[in-house]
Chain A
Amino acid sequence: MLQIDVQKQLGDFALNANITAPAGVTAIFGQSGSGKTSIVNAMAGLMTPDAGRIVVGDTVLFDKAQRTNLAPHKRRVGYVFQDARLFPHMNVQRNLTYGGDHDADRLIELLGLGDLLNRHPAGLSGGEKQRVALGRALMCNPQILLMDEPLAALDARRKAEILPYIERLRDEVKIPILYVSHDVSEVARLANTIVVLEAGQVAIAGPIGDVLSQPDAVPLVGVRAAGAVIETRIAGRLLHDGLTELSFSGGRLMMPGNLGRLGQTVRLRIPAQDVILARDRPKGISALNILPVRITGIEQGRGPGVAVGLLAGKDKLLARVTRRSLQRMELAVGQDIYAIIKATAVGPEDVGG
């Protein structure tokens, strides 16, 4: 459990954020300059807020009213920086154990660091550096892990290479993780909870599936980021077609690729702009995934787009259509219609375990 309530004036920019994060991964999401890094720096003690209170578990890290302000080295906060910040004059082994060697063997194994131990940071790729930085932060046995855009400096391939390691950590390390990112596919893949920051304030926060599929949140998270995040189970593998069949409360979906073992859980992100709506069950179209859904909300934005909240079984979906389509189709809350999801629309970077 994590409580952050911080105020800080930085020139013209005012940070005023109040965040409560449950166990698991909490994503801090927002444009650059929205105050994401300031929040994690306040947690780590690298920035002193003007006012507020920061509590991790039973430990008060900062409390202006009580004049508590723990020094950074006493906070037991693991911090993975965007630029890794490995010590250039130490090899990987010494970098890893700089702060302690808690659970060292398992972390080296979990992060695949065994072959890197004698190398120096200058000889590592960006992805390797971040893996070492992660291991180094965790070996000092922190009570919380902060990750500030750990993948932002990496290209798509390196990202794909390191994401599974972060997922494994999330599932194995039992401490809360605060994950700062402006990339919704990363967030959708890793986080349970999302906090959307806008100009230093919390615009919206909650379970990730709820927030990203909420029609009125579209302007806050952005048109491209909006979309459902649902948990599905692998129900069948049509390997001769190169497809995997996934089941969830709203029906079945076919997705390209081999996504895992039968019965395994797969988290799926379905961007709102990749969902098409139809009043009647369409016939003779190439899309494989047609789901019966009910309209739960309609949010007219300022532009030509309209966000339509949908319920498929117990799961929430989100579609984005034009205002013109909305009027022509005479859509209204409570109607039963069909949602067409193009299977190829869900790229591999949006499919997470």
Chain B
Amino acid sequence: MTDLLGPAEWTAILLSLRVALVATLMALPLALWVAHLLARKRFPGRQLLNGIVHLPLVLPPVVTGYLLLVVFGQQGPVGGFLYDVFGISFAFRWTGAALAAGIMAFPLMVRAIRLGIEAVDTGLEEAAATLGASRWRVFTTVTLPLVFPGILAGAILGFAKALGEFGATITFVAAIPGQTQTVPSAIYGLLQVPGSEPAVLGLVIVSVILAMGALLVSEWLARRAAHRMAA
């Protein structure tokens, strides 16, 4: 196995993990907030918000990548502002890959968490309120623990999606080894070079292991959560 993977491949794997992890962790609180908004609140523009959240899921990834380039590039309205004020740059850097992965994973995370929130019996939240709990305390002590399986599912789904993201990432930040070349773009790149099948095989095996591992960890955590509730 180690024979199959050279230093370049290892760099791509570690970068992929870092990009996917950062993307998931940054997107999770926002996804929780948006999911709560969509599941519980009625406000004008709710359908519009729902549509915008789902856009990365239905648009061709290349289009999403191009839009990211336009908006978050150094000449773009948001990207330019962030660069001028905070010195943050996304262009051709791993942070850009994380941004692209996070945006592509976002709708999946929102959907899973929203289902979890909708499954929570609002009667329990009412009961907590009659027991003197403020809204914030109801949310943190009743809603959040009961939505936990949904959050977990959303996080794992998001992580897996972020690991596999290709189209938007390569359009937005290209595939620079050590900066933005994640496992999928490394595989794609190697496939263009004759004689690199062993390296491709190694990366494919790693991809399968990572995906299976994420799935097993989520199953295990979900079972533990269910067990805690039934015990």
Contacts and interface: CB of A to CB of B under 8 A. Distances in A.
A61 B38 CA distance: 31
A289 B186 CA distance: 96
A100 B145 contact: no
Contacts of A140: 131-132
A130 to B, nearest CB: 13
B133 to A, nearest CB: 6
Given A87-B142, A89-B145, A78 B130 contact: yes
A212 to B, nearest CB: 30
A332 interface: no
| Chain A, interface SS category | loop
A44 interface: yes
B229 A72 contact: no
Interface in B133-163: 133-135, 138, 141-142, 145-146
B132 A85 contact: no
Interface residues of A, number: 27
A73 B124 contact: no
Among B128, B130, B132, B141, find the residue whose CB has the most chain A CB atoms closer than 10 A. Answer: B130
Give the interface size class of chain B. 20 to 34
B131 A120 contact: no
Interface in A126-141: 136-137, 140
Contacts of A122: 229-231
A90 to B, nearest CB: 8
Contact of B130 (A77, A87, A89, A123): A77
A100 B229 contact: no
24 contacts: A44-B126, A45-B130, A46-B126, A72-B130, A73-B129, A73-B131, A73-B132, A73-B135, A74-B132, A75-B130, A78-B130, A81-B127, A85-B126, A87-B142, A88-B124, A89-B145, A89-B146, A89-B228, A89-B229, A120-B230, A122-B229, A122-B230, A122-B231, A140-B132
Question: Closest 7 CB pairs between A and B?
Answer: A99-B131, A72-B129, A85-B127, A79-B130, A99-B132, A89-B145, A122-B230
Interface of B: 121, 123-124, 126-135, 138, 141-142, 145-146, 228-231
Interface of A: 44-46, 71-79, 81, 83, 85, 87-89, 98-100, 120, 122-123, 136-137, 140
